[in-house]
Structure formats: structure tokens, C-alpha cells
């Protein structure tokens, strides 16, 4: 039976992915700040929690991120950029997830296919950015995409069948998107989780390092 790991399992999307994998017959290990004390902004916390895992895991999903610091909101104009707030967004969305990924080589099987999905966002696409704004969040996700791409290249040298991909979940109805009401509406978490799990199940080693949405469509960097 597949062994799966969800990091950020207490969040709306992370919890839904864990439940979806369980429904598909996987044995799921979930980690979160609430349940396990995993603070991705604290290297000692990451080392302690991730270091306690044995693996190997056939599937890994990383659902860690913030839209803005607590009480804040994404910037609409350059004049709204606050260096302290921007550093907090990068500490979680980029540096924190990068620290998680440093443990992947030890936790993935050396032989046989494995898949790691890292939750990023379409607004992190530079090629798709036509509206501007959201400077900290966009930049943190663009930087994360680069880290995911580089990690896929490095890990692919020793784990030939590993797939590591940046994933855009769509706009999902979770506390994360509360107060943001796009014209196209929001997906329920369970629907988004099914779509993301389908994408991860279908990706091949030739697609490792790519950036895909919940429908499996490749997104521009």
C-alpha cells in the first residue's frame, strides 16, 4: 500500500489531500504546526520534525504557505510594500518550504516511481502576470517555483523515477481565501484535492520539475 506524507495537513487543502489519499488506500502521515509543532520558519523545528520521519514515501504533498502576515493583506501598489511583512511571507512560502525539501532525498525511494507535489500558485507565474500587485506573495511563489525546479533536477540524478512538481490548486474555498471572491468562484477543498491527486498520479518522470495546474495543464514560468 502506498505510503504518503502530507506536510501542512491541518490546512484546508492539505487536510483534503490527506483524506483523498486515504480514500484511495494510502497510509498517510500528516504533519502540521498545530499537531506536531512544525514551524517552517524555525530550522531547529524543521530538523526535529522532519528528521523523525523514516520513509520511504511514495507520495509527498507540501501545503505550506501564507497570503500575508497575520492581520495583513497582499499589496495592491508598490507604495504598500513593507520589508518586514515581505520577509515574513518569504520566510514561510519560500525559505520554509525549501527547508522541507532538503529532507526529500532521504525520504523518497531510490528505486521505483515517487511523486512530490509542492503547492505554489498561478500568481507566481511571471509569464502569466497581467494585473501586477500582490508583490510579496507573487515573488515568494515565483522563487519557490525556481527552488522546486532545481530540487527536481538534483534529486533526479539519484532518484531516476522521482517526480517533483509545482502545483497550482485553483481558487479553493478555505480560510486562506476568505475575503477573496473571484468571478470564477471557488472550488470545494475535496474537489481540489481529487484534482490535485489525479494530476500527481498521472505525472511521469519526464515531467519532473514542471509547473502544473489542477487540470494537469503546464503553466508558464
Choose among 75, 64, 63, 183: nearest CA to 136: 75
Residue 146 Cα to chain centre, angstroms: 13
The length of the chain, given as a count of residues: 221
User: What is the SS3 assignment for the chain?
Assistant: CCEEEEECCCCHHHHHHHHHHHHCCCEEEEECHHHHCCCCCCHHHHHHHHHCCCCCCCEEEECCCCCCCCCCCCCCCHHHCCHHHHHHHHHHHHHHHHHHHCCHHHHCCCCCCEEEEEECCHHHCCCCCCCCCCHHHHHHHHHHHHHHHHHHHHHHCCCCCEEEEEEECCCECCHHHCCCCCCCCCECHHHHHHHHHHHHHHCCHHHCCCEEECCCCECCC
> And the C-alpha cell for 74?
497582499
pLDDT per residue rounded down to tens, the chain (221 residues): 599 999 999 988 999 999 999 999 999 999 999 999 999 999 999 999 999 999 899 999 999 999 999 999 999 999 999 999 999 999 999 999 999 999 999 999 999 999 999 999 999 999 999 999 999 999 999 999 999 999 999 999 999 999 999 999 988 776 665 555 555 666 888 999 999 999 999 999 999 999 999 999 999 99
**How much is the pLDDT for 55?**
87
Amino acid at each position: 500500500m502506498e505510503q504518503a506524507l502530507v506536510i501542512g495537513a491541518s490546512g484546508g487543502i492539505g487536510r483534503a489531500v490527506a483524506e483523498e489519499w486515504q480514500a484511495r488506500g494510502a497510509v498517510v502521515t500528516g504533519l502540521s504546526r498545530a499537531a506536531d509543532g512544525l514551524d517552517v520558519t524555525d530550522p531547529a523545528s524543521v530538523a526535529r520534525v522532519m528528521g523523525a520521519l523514516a520513509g520511504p514515501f511514495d507520495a509527498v504533498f507540501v501545503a505550506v504557505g501564507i497570503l500575508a502576515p497575520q492581520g495583513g493583506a497582499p499589496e495592491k501598489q508598490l507604495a504598500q510594500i513593507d520589508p518586514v511583512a515581505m520577509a515574513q511571507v518569504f520566510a514561510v512560502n519560500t525559505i520554509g518550504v525549501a527547508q522541507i525539501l532538503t529532507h526529500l532525498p532521504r525520504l523518497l525511494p531510490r528505486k521505483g516511481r515517487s511523486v512530490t507535489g509542492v503547492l505554489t500558485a498561478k500568481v507566481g507565474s511571471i509569464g502569466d502576470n497581467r494585473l501586477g500587485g500582490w508583490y510579496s506573495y507573487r515573488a515568494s511563489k515565483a522563487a519557490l517555483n525556481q527552488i522546486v525546479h532545481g530540487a527536481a533536477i538534483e534529486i533526479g540524478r539519484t532518484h531516476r523515477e522521482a517526480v517533483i512538481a509545482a502545483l497550482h490548486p485553483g481558487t479553493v474555498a478555505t480560510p486562506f481565501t476568505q475575503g477573496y471572491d473571484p468571478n470564477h468562484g471557488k472550488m470545494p477543498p475535496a474537489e481540489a484535492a481529487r484534482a490535485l491527486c489525479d494530476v500527481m498520479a498521472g505525472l511521469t518522470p519526464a515531467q519532473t520539475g514542471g509547473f502544473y495546474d489542477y487540470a494537469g495543464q503546464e503553466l508558464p514560468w
